[in-house]
């Protein structure tokens, strides 16, 4: 009997669709089809692949309103969140690699020095072949674009495995690719549950894994890849800090704190989850945050006029409520929100919580929900110390009018990315590499590095002298040794200061 996956709307808790789950045999078949088409796809010129993706982009833009509707119904996020963080950023990533992939991956000649100056030196890039993209449920479109498109542009075929909570958006891409004329097997979505037999077959059968999701799951996938020495990139959890100094533009800092904490109902790996505010502006900051949060609308979004949508799953909603309860039991105060609302759907009124400390899960564990947790600090030094106390290091934000001070502080914070007087936007800037440190992951997204991760590099040395023998080849002699000594002295001596 075929296993099925039921997709429920987090807005209404009603069944949207029931899909047959792919079996291990289905995955094997998909791998075989991809292997067959891989030589053709990798053999195309960049211009030919870009031609396909311009058609994809055209269809994608034609369907943007339908895509927003699917994302809204499937994930519970507001339509504006879907439009900005999924559609706008995704098409931007596609266009970025259309414009730059060839330059990033072209053969590069390297200048030699000393003995290597007698050779022509090249670095070349070749696709791995078949890339497995595994994404989480919070951004089913954006996360797929972030990995699948640079992988495809580099000449790989892609198998995409979305979360079983949100497969409809990913399956929509299959339809768009088919309409664009991309050959069967170049890209395919695999729908299956968790670490099933089908998932294990998926991981085992591809040449490289790009994973986005929780730290614990990512570590497990990393271990599976290590067994086969299979390359992987892992974008994992975050507990991102925001620091507000006494000279910050307070209105902008407040607006950023509320948006950065609540976008996509807080279900964002780079959400602001810990806010450290210097004592002198703490009370005013908190008052303004409560006012701003109280003014937001929460619920279903009919016409782009709702601020905060629903959680995507009841399980995640309950995890957030448990963190809030733990914080209150340990002395935190809720100034606003923090309760489930509505008679249907997974809606949680955004919470503003103060008097928090590092004994509470809400300040140490990833929350992934609509919570604004604020703590006062003496100064920038204490804020940096607390910011670095986390096991995570994905993103962060600093608010100060003194940009030089902000840049200096940024260098002291253990995170892969950071904004000064801004929040979250850095993920959407494809020109910049995006990465995590500590338990927030390994590997780089976006930029030149974001496409090169889907390639194996090859170094090539070409002799250009055509001599019968090299001085260091056989037979060895005192004469050849003296010549080598002279080369060492000539090229590598230390010049006087």
pLDDT category of residue 493 using cuts at 50, 70 and 90 = confident
- Strands 15-20, 4-8: pairing kind: antiparallel
Q: Quick: pLDDT tens for 150-194.
A: 999 999 999 999 999 999 998 999 999 999 999 999 999 999 987
Judging by beta carbons within 10 Å of its beta carbon (0-12, 13-18, 19+), is residue 80 exposed, middle or buried?
middle
C-alpha 280/C-alpha 379 separation (Å) is: 9
Structural tokens at position 319? 């995890």
pLDDT, position 158: 98
Strands (DSSP E) found in 292-446? 333-336, 340-341, 347-348, 351-354, 371-377, 392-393, 397-399, 419-420, 434-435, 437-438, 441-442, 444-445
Orientation of helix 46-62 relative to helix 64-75, angle to 10°: 70
* Residue linked to tokens 């919070």: 138
pLDDT, position 291: 98
| Closest by CA position to 214, among listed 136, 132, 162 | 136
Domains of the chain: 4-236+446-456 (3.40.605.10), 240-431 (3.40.309.10)
Q: Quick: pLDDT tens for 447-483.
A: 999 999 999 999 999 999 999 999 999 999 999 999 9
Single out the catalytic residue among 225, 232, 269, 419: 269
* Alpha-carbon torsion, ordered 55, 60, 61, 62, to 10 deg: 90
Structural tokens at position 204? 């085992």
Q: Which residues contact 348 (CB under 8 A, 6 or more apart)?
A: 265, 310, 311, 317, 320, 321, 337, 338, 339, 340, 341, 369, 370
pLDDT at 1 over 70: no
pLDDT at 360 over 70: yes
pLDDT, position 260: 98
Q: Quick: pLDDT tens for 286-338.
A: 999 999 999 999 999 989 999 999 999 999 999 999 999 999 999 999 999 99
pLDDT, position 497: 59
pLDDT category of residue 391 using cuts at 50, 70 and 90 = very high
H helices, E strands: number in the chain: 16, 24
pLDDT, position 496: 75
pLDDT category of residue 491 using cuts at 50, 70 and 90 = confident
pLDDT average, residue stretch 6-11 = 96
**How much of the chain exceeds pLDDT 70, in percent?**
100
Single out the catalytic residue among 74, 235, 365, 366: 235
| Closest by CA position to 102, among listed 153, 143, 151, 138 | 153
pLDDT, position 314: 96
pLDDT average, residue stretch 400-422 = 98
74: Cα separation from own chain's centroid = 20
pLDDT at 486 over 70: yes
pLDDT average, residue stretch 124-128 = 98
pLDDT average, residue stretch 373-392 = 98
**Mean pLDDT for the chain?**
96
pLDDT average, residue stretch 7-29 = 96
Q: Quick: pLDDT tens for 44-85.
A: 999 999 999 999 999 999 999 999 999 999 999 999 999 999
**8 A C-beta contact, residue 406 and residue 400:** yes
- Using DSSP's 3-state secondary structure scheme, residue 47 falls into helix
The model's pTM:
0.95
Query: Could you confirm whether 269 is annotated as catalytic?
Result: yes
């Amino acid at each position: 009997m075929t296993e099925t996956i039921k997709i429920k709307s987090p807005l209404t808790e009603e069944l949207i669709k029931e899909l047959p789950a792919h079996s291990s045999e289905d995955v094997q078949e998909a791998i075989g089809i991809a292997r067959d088409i891989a030589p053709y796809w990798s053999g195309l010129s960049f211009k030919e692949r870009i031609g396909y993706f311009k058609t994809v982009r055209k269809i994608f833009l034609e369907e943007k309103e339908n895509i927003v509707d699917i994302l809204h119904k499937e994930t519970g996020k507001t339509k504006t969140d879907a439009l900005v963080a999924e559609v706008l950023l995704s098409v931007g990533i596609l266009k970025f690699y259309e414009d730059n992939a060839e330059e990033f991956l072209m053969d590069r000649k390297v200048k030699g020095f000393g003995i290597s100056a007698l050779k022509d030196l090249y670095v070349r890039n070749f696709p791995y072949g078949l890339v497995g993209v595994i994404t989480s449920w919070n951004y089913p479109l954006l996360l797929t674009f972030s990995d699948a498109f640079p992988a495809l542009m580099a000449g790989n075929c892609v198998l995409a495995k979305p979360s079983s909570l949100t497969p409809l958006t990913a399956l929509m891409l299959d339809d768009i690719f088919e309409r664009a004329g991309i050959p069967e097997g170049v890209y395919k979505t695999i729908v299956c549950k968790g670490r099933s037999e089908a998932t294990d077959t998926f991981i085992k059968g591809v040449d490289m894994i790009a994973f986005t999701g929780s730290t614990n799951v990512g570590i497990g996938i990393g271990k599976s890849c290590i067994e086969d020495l299979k390359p992987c990139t892992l974008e994992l959890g975050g507990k991102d800090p925001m620091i507000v100094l006494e000279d910050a533009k307070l209105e902008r800092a407040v607006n950023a704190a509320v948006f950065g904490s609540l976008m996509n109902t807080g279900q964002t790996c780079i959400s602001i989850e810990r806010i450290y505010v210097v004592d002198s502006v703490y009370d005013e900051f908190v008052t303004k945050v409560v006012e701003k949060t109280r003014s937001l609308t929460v619920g279903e979004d009919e016409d782009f006029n709702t601020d905060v949508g629903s959680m995507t799953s009841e399980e995640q909603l309950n995890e957030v409520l448990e963190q809030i309860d733990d914080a209150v039991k340990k002395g935190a105060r809720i100034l606003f929100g923090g309760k489930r609302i509505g008679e249907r759907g997974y809606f949680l009124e955004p919470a503003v919580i103060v008097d928090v400390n590092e004994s509470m899960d809400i300040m140490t564990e990833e929350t992934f929900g609509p919570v604004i947790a604020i703590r006062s600090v003496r100064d920038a030094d204490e804020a940096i110390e607390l910011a670095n106390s986390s096991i995570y290091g994905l993103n962060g934000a600093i608010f100060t009018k003194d940009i030089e001070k902000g840049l200096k502080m940024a260098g002291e914070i253990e995170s892969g990315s950071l904004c000064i007087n801004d929040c979250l936007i850095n993920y959407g800037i494809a020109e910049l590499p995006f990465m995590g440190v500590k338990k927030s992951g390994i590997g780089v997204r976006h930029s030149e590095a974001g496409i090169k991760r889907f390639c194996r590099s090859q170094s090539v040395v070409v002799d250009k002298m055509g001599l019968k023998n090299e001085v260091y080849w056989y037979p060895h002699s005192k004469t050849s040794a003296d010549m080598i000594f002279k080369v060492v002295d000539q090229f590598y001596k230390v010049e006087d200061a």
